[in-house]
Amino acid sequence: MVPMNKETNGSGVFAPRRWGLPAEAVGDLADRLWRVWSRFRHCFETKTRDTAGYARFYLRGLLTMAKQRNYANIARRVIDPDDDGQNVQQFMSDSPWPAQAIFEQI
C-alpha cells in the first residue's frame, strides 16, 4: 500500500493520479525496480569489479528525484548525504561495462 501524502495524493510529481495511474499500480514499484535491476546487473560486472550497485543507485536516483538529478545529488539522496557523487560519475563515464550487453537485454 502506498502512503498518501503531498507527493502521492494527486498534487506532487510522484502522485499516481497525475500520471493516470491508480494508487494500486505503484504499490509494488520498489519490487519491480529490483527485478529490472536484477535482470541487468550482470551487464555491469567485469573481471575485476562489480559496479552493479552504482547502476541501481543511479536508476533509483533518476526515478525518485523530481529535479536536480546530477551525480552529486543522486549520490547524496540514495547513497549518503555526504557523498560527492564521484563514484557514480565514474561508473557512468569511465567504467568499462559494455553498453551493447544492455542493448541485447532490452
CA distances from 23 to 3, 5, 100 (A): 9, 12, 35
Give pLDDT, residue 16.
78
4-29 in b/e form (b: 16+ CB < 10 A) is eeeebeeeeebbbeeeeeebeebeee
pTM score, whole prediction: 0.71
Phi and psi at 81, nearest 5°, equal -60, -25
Amino acid letter for position 65 = M
pLDDT at 5: 47
Would you give per-residue pLDDT tens digits along the chain (106 residues)?
444 444 445 567 678 787 787 877 777 878 888 898 899 999 888 888 899 999 999 998 988 888 899 999 999 999 999 999 999 999 999 888 888 888 888 8
Q: What is the pLDDT of residue 11?
A: 61
